[in-house]
Amino acid sequence: MKLWKRTFLSGLTAVLLVGSVAACSSKTDNDASGTKQEGNGSTTSSEQKVTKLKMLGPAGINKYIKYDDRENYPVWSEIDKLLKKEGLELDNEFVPAEQYEVVLKTRMESGSNLPDIVNVSKLDNTTVLNLAKQGVLLDLNPLIEKYSNGNIKKMYDVEFPYAKKSTTSPDGKMYWFSNLHKKTYQGKDPAPVSLTMLIRKDWLEKLNLPVPTTADEYLETLKKFRALDANGNGKQDEVLAYNYPGQFTGAIAQWFGLGSGITAVDVENKKIVSPWYQEGIKDYFRYMQRLVKEGVLDTSLIEATGEQNQQKMTDNQVASLHDYNLENYQEPTIKGGGEFLPLMPLKAVEGITPAVQQEPHFLIFNKYAITKDCKDPAAAIKFFDMVYSEKYADLMFWGIEGQTYKVESNGAKVYLNNGPAEELAKTKQVTGNMLLGDTVFPRVQFSNLEFELASAPKYKADNELQVLNYKPYYVNMNNNFLAIPDDKQLETKTKILTNLNTYSTELATKLALGQKSLDDWDQYIAELKKLGLDQLIEIDQQLLDRYNSIQ
């Protein structure tokens, strides 16, 4: 009797435990399936059919302007109106941004618990294409043909014609929508910004030194900053913060006419170039060696982290660095204050016109896809039709006229309030991007240069105006100009880059530091060829050609 009782009691406890766990799961399942069954069909409210879309994306990273408080923001009411007009209701799952990559990868790889629309920006092109091959993500072109009201086509074909070039996969299909950004000046002229060498303007004025106009003058100026103790702390610790001499991505490389990476896109001439084969390469290394020898280049900052760079900046030791010409976030971090003047490209070698490094005036980035579990693709396309509309673009980038921006007499829009996020969160006068951008809401941006110039000091604005039409140039995001590689190209490229990148970066860094001699140049080039440099250039040229051929 007792044995039966004990066995029965143990069994009952086990059943209760398992039951409570299963109850939780069945509750979740019921919620999910309930949504699936009823939402992607319809919940009719009055006459309009309202469709629920399940969205998955990263939460916004702004500490003060939070999605949870969206009801308090006027811009959200406007966007909500757009959604309601289309009969859409969004069921958003926002995962903390720092965690999103892991959640996304596990969710997509397991193919379970998929939303209707997902932000897959954290996945590289190959992974996304593999998911598309497996059928997890849908081909968008047929859906656009069938369900779109024309907005998507207008944005992609007319306003941002380059968008398709970098988002069409090798099989001719498109599997994701993107953020679309373009910056113009006076309404129509493309307005790229530059990444250049910035130099301490206040130190130049303090020590009565002229602004350098050549590479040699630049070196002499940096030497003088040290010798005359520009930061006034009694130590010769004023340095040039140049993090990546071995990757050609710093603006000094472009002074010697070099491309901005191991392979780089010469946009104007539609050619792929490699610094290793360009005319100014040896002079570049000789110049870097001089910077190191004179002690102006801080070698401890080579390949340094953001925090290490910040340390030097806050400690008022950075005399010059590579950054955006219109940046305004470095100066407030300097203890005691300071000003950075952006330089135009400086002449370094006779016969070589120094190039500028540009951030292109158009940017196509991020990925938003529709998954196989989407029961109502028509509704998903409706969402993107809403996104790729001028009204939405305006609300997201500019906000509400009279509250967040105004239109100047020349027709250009400028922001009314450029204050820090903390302040804007109190007044609630924010743009849609600040509240929602890059979560599940793509960004569509018709930016202009005028508002940037209005908030920048004159010396930065003047520099930008000179950059607008400057040639020659290289771009900071070379991949923006290359089509997506097919499997074979990708496999070859990956195989080559694994070793070639390491060898190239190490070699270039050692040459810049003077640890390797330029006398063995032929050996180095032979080794680079052996590792596949020529093959890489050829593949990238094919990708560039395909990019240029996509209409």
Partner 1 sequence: MITSLKRNPNAIRQGSVVVDVVLLVIALIICFITLYPFYFVIIMSISNPQEVAAMNVFWFPKGFFLGSYELIVRDTKMWWAYSNTLIYVSAGAFLNCLMAVLGAYPLTVRGLIGRKWVVAFILIPMYFAGGLIPSYLLVNQLGLYNTMFAVIIPGMVSIWNIILVRTFFSTIPEGLKESAFIDGASHWQMLFRVVLPISKPIIAVIAIYSIVAIWNSWFDALVYLPNEKLHPLQMYLYRVVVQQSVDLKTLSLQDTRNAVENMLSNIQLKYAIIVFTTLPVIFTYPFFQKYFIKGALLGSLKE
User: What is the contact surface with partner 1 in residues (CB under 8 A)?
Assistant: 6, 21-22, 24-26, 28-29, 59, 61-63, 93, 95-99, 102-103, 106, 109-110, 112-113, 181, 193, 249, 305-307, 310-312, 314-315, 324, 326-330, 333, 335, 359, 363, 365, 420-421
* Cβ 392 to partner 1 shortest distance, Å: 18
At closest approach, how far in Å is the CB of 193 from partner 1?
Answer: 6
Any idea what DSSP says for residue 483? Answer: P
Write the single-letter amino acid at 433. Answer: N
Output 325 or 389, the one with its CB closest to partner 1: 325
Min. distance of Cβ 252 from partner 1 in angstroms? 16
- Tokens linked to 389: 């509309």
Nearer to partner 1 by C-beta: 113 or 466?
113
Three-state helix/strand/coil letters over 423-450: HHHHHCCCCHHHHHECCCECCEEEEEHH
Cβ 39 to partner 1, closest distance in Å? 19
Minimum CB distance to partner 1 smaller for 21 or for 518? 21
Q: How far is the CB of 34 from partner 1 (least distance, A)?
A: 15
Q: How far is the CB of 311 from partner 1 (least distance, A)?
A: 5
Question: Are the C-beta atoms of residues 377 and 138 closer than 8 Å to each other?
Answer: yes
Task: State which residue, 140 or 318, has the beta carbon closest to partner 1.
Answer: 318
Comparing CB distances to partner 1, the nearer of 99 and 213 is 99
Comparing CB distances to partner 1, the nearer of 148 and 447 is 447
Largest CA distance in the chain: 104
Residue 267 CB, nearest distance to partner 1 (Å)?
Answer: 17
Q: Own/partner pairs for 374-377, CB < 8 Å, 24+ apart? A: 374/40, 374/53, 374/116, 374/117, 374/138, 375/36, 375/40, 375/41, 375/116, 376/40, 376/41, 376/51, 376/53, 376/116, 377/138, 377/143, 377/147
CB-wise, 5 or 471, nearer to partner 1? 5
What amino acid occupies position 387? V
- CB of residue 102 vs partner 1: minimum separation in angstroms? 5
Q: Which helix (H) or strand (E) holds 95?
A: strand 88-95
Task: Tell the smallest beta-carbon distance from residue 27 to partner 1 (Å).
Answer: 8
Nearer to partner 1, 202 or 331 (CB): 331
**Closest to partner 1 by CB, 37 or 333:** 333
Q: Using alpha carbons, select from 108, 130, 112 the residue that is nearest to residue 120.
A: 108
- Report yes or no: 298 and 245 within 8 Å, Cβ to Cβ: no
Q: Considering the complex, what minimum distance in angstroms separates the CB of residue 372 from partner 1?
A: 17
Q: Give CB contacts under 8 A, 24+ apart, made by 15-21.
A: none
Nearer to partner 1, 340 or 524 (CB): 340
Q: Tokens standing for 417?
A: 């309030």
Q: Considering the complex, state which of residue 6 and residue 235 has its C-beta at the smaller distance from partner 1.
A: 6
Residue 258 token pair = 């070099």
Phi, psi of 317 (to 5 degrees): -110, -10
Distance CA 58, CA 104 (A): 9
Q: Rounded to the nearest whole angstrom, what is the least distance from the CB of residue 323 to partner 1 in the complex?
A: 8
**Least distance from C-beta 170 to partner 1, angstroms?**
24
Nearer to partner 1, 143 or 364 (CB): 364
For 65, residues 6+ apart whose C-beta sits below 8 A from its C-beta are 73, 421, 424, 425, 430, 434, 435
Q: What are the DSSP E strand ranges found in 284-436?
A: 318-324, 340-342, 356-359, 362-370, 405-407, 413-415
Q: Among all chains, which residue has been given the structure tokens 């498109």?
A: 174
Read off the tokens for 529: 């060829």
Task: Give the Cα separation of 197 and 343 in Å (integer).
Answer: 6
Per-position DSSP letters for 188-255, written without gaps between them: TEE--EEEEEEEEHHHHHHTT-PPP-BHHHHHHHHHHHHHTTTT-SSS---EEE---TTTT-SHHHHH
